[in-house]
């Protein structure tokens, strides 16, 4: 049965529907809550995810609940906000209706903040071999594969006396790829170093593949160089100008070469939510909506598109980056434009206030840019740490994460090392199959199986 919400109350307040409880949607809701409006926030998940710390869940440093919080709880203090769990599937912009599975929601104003995900450049079939990192579920799947890879190698070595060499490949040298590669190196060289009897985790190869000429392309040249050096110091092999041309179970094709890969993680490309296309306006190559200067959808002043789903150029011509501060400022700006409409004032164009950029690489390793000030290493890492704890949603989470990090800083311990998510956790493809199908010597870039390392 499909229901259209009918308003039977005498509530004459404007109805605002917000799609997405991410950084942009939450900020818009919080800012609008002060106005005499009725707000409905819809999300297909019941929680807000603090995506900058997802890699910590993927690498067993933090547990999911430490970086996520129920949207309902975050907004509970605002009486004029309701939160509905549901998946938006389309729009009727002429009738001003949002279509969801099972029901429709009418609106006076609509804010679409449905975000973006990673892109496989037309090869969606690669996803099964190379998961990306966007949601808690993705992070848990990556954690499962990483931990399983070590377990299977240990079991192999314990029963046969040898095992295939462990090679983890991260595709994409942007901030997510860099932090994943750096942290995987730390796990292999430090956290797990003494935990196995038959394999030596320290011998794990961590390879970071980047199609372009440098990692962290959005950063200035000195910080890009520094990031590469810091990665190499942590034991990551950085391969630049290395575009992936094909991917199969246990192997990855790069520039005519085939490499063995126990595990491939995907951190390349951007693909906007399909809701961008469903809005029917102009979109860029990644499916992001080309919004007007006030963030509205061309031809529909009552619809705003914000955050990772929006495409807007700054005055100098550069596209605004897909980062949390942009989404948050745009959320506040969309709310401000609605307030201007309600009070009969003119709308104004959005300007992004760039407070700086930070990217973490691993323990004591990061780069940061605050205007003309460029810093690398320990100081940048400290700045990254405190800023991310500060912005983490929920006081409880901040305290928990601080304690966890203090503990693991001194002990190298990664306490969330649980393999979960499958009925038969030690017989799960693709790692198991990749391992089983390893034909010694058939990998041009890989040595033969190694004998028990210890």
Ligand X SMILES: Cc1cc2nc3c(=O)[nH]c(=O)nc-3n(C[C@H](O)[C@H](O)[C@H](O)COP(=O)(O)OP(=O)(O)OC[C@H]3O[C@@H](n4cnc5c(N)ncnc54)[C@H](O)[C@@H]3O)c2cc1C
Among 133, 142, 178, 244, binds ligand X (CB under 6 A): 133
Cα end-to-end distance, the chain, whole Å? 63
Active-site choice (66, 141, 179, 210): 179
Check if the beta carbon of residue 409 is closer than 8 Å to that of residue 382: no
Q: Does 59 bind ligand X (CB under 6 A)?
A: no
Pairing of strands 244-248, 251-254: antiparallel
Please provide residue 68's backbone torsions phi and psi, each rounded to the nearest 5 degrees: -140, 155
179 catalytic per annotation: yes
List CB contacts of 386: < 8 A, sequence separation 6 or more: none
Token pair for 371:
């205007």
Q: Does 308 bind ligand X (CB under 6 A)?
A: yes
Nearest residue (CB) to ligand X, 153 versus 324: 324
d(CA 246, CA 1): 44
Nearest residue (CB) to ligand X, 152 versus 320: 320
Check if the beta carbon of residue 113 is closer than 8 Å to that of residue 18: yes
d(CA 268, CA 120): 7
Q: Does 83 bind ligand X (CB under 6 A)?
A: no
Min CB(45)–ligand X separation in Å: 4
Min CB(147)–ligand X separation in Å: 19
164 preceded by a cis bond (ω within 30 of 0): no
Min CB(237)–ligand X separation in Å: 22
Nearest residue (CB) to ligand X, 261 versus 267: 267
Q: Does 276 bind ligand X (CB under 6 A)?
A: no
> According to CB under 6 A, which residues from 313 to 352 bind ligand X?
322-325, 327
Min CB(111)–ligand X separation in Å: 10
d(CA 364, CA 233): 11
Among 61, 235, 307, 362, binds ligand X (CB under 6 A): 307
Q: E strands of 156-243, at which residues?
A: 162-163, 167-171, 205-209, 236-239
Near ligand X by CB under 6 A, which window of 50-58, 203-211, 334-342, 445-453? 50-58
Q: Does 88 bind ligand X (CB under 6 A)?
A: yes
- Residue closest to 246 by CA, chosen among 235, 238, 237, 255: 255
Check if the beta carbon of residue 207 is closer than 8 Å to that of residue 177: no
Q: Does 43 bind ligand X (CB under 6 A)?
A: yes
> According to CB under 6 A, which residues from 3 to 42 bind ligand X?
19-25, 42
Name the residues annotated as catalytic. 179
Binding residues vs ligand X (CB under 6 A): 19-25, 42-45, 51-52, 54-55, 87-88, 113-115, 133-134, 175-176, 273, 275, 307-309, 322-325, 327
């Amino acid at each position: 049965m499909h229901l259209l919400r009918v308003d039977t109350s005498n509530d004459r307040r404007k109805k605002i529907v917000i799609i997405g409880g991410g950084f942009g949607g939450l900020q818009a809701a919080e800012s609008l809550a002060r106005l005499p409006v009725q707000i409905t926030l819809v999300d297909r998940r019941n929680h807000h995810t603090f995506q900058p710390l997802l890699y910590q869940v993927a690498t067993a440093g933090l547990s999911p609940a430490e970086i996520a919080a129920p949207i309902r709880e975050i907004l509970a203090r605002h009486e004029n906000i309701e939160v509905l769990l549901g998946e938006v599937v389309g729009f009727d912009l002429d009738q001003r209706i949002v279509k969801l599975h099972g029901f429709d929601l009418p609106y006076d104003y609509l804010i679409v903040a449905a975000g973006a995900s990673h892109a496989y450049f037309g090869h969606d079939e690669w996803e099964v071999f190379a998961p990306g990192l966007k949601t808690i579920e993705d992070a848990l799947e990556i954690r499962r594969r990483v931990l399983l890879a070590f377990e299977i190698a240990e079991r192999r070595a314990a029963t046969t006396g040898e095992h295939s060499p462990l090679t983890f490949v991260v595709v994409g040298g942007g901030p997510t790829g860099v932090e994943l590669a750096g942290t995987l190196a730390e796990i292999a060289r430090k956290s797990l170093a003494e935990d196995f009897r038959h394999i030596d985790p320290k011998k794990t190869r961590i390879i970071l593949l980047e199609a372009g000429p440098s990692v962290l392309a959005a950063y200035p040249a000195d910080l890009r160089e520094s990031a590469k050096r810091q990665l190499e110091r942590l034991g990551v092999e950085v391969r630049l100008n290395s575009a992936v041309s094909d991917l199969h179970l246990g192997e990855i094709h790069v520039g005519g070469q085939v490499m063995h890969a126990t595990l491939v993680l995907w951190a390349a490309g951007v693909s906007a939510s399909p809701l961008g296309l469903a809005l029917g306006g102009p979109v860029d190559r990644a499916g992001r909506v080309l919004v007007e200067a006030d963030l509205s959808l061309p031809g529909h002043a009552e619809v705003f598109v914000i955050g990772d789903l929006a495409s807007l150029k700054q005055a100098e011509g550069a596209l605004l980056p897909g980062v949390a501060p942009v989404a948050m400022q745009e959320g506040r700006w969309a709310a401000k434009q609605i307030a201007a409409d309600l009070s009969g004032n003119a709308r104004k164009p959005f300007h992004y206030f760039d407070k700086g950029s930070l990217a973490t690489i691993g323990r004591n390793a990061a780069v940061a840019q605050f205007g003309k000030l460029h810093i690398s290493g320990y100081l940048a890492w400290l700045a990254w740490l405190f800023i991310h704890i500060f912005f983490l949603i929920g006081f409880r989470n901040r305290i928990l994460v601080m304690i966890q990090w203090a503990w693991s800083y001194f002990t190298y311990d990664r306490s969330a090392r649980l393999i979960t998510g499958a009925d038969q956790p030690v017989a799960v493809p693709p790692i198991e199959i990749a391992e089983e199908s390893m034909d010694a010597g058939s990998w041009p870039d890989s040595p033969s199986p190694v004998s028990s390392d210890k």
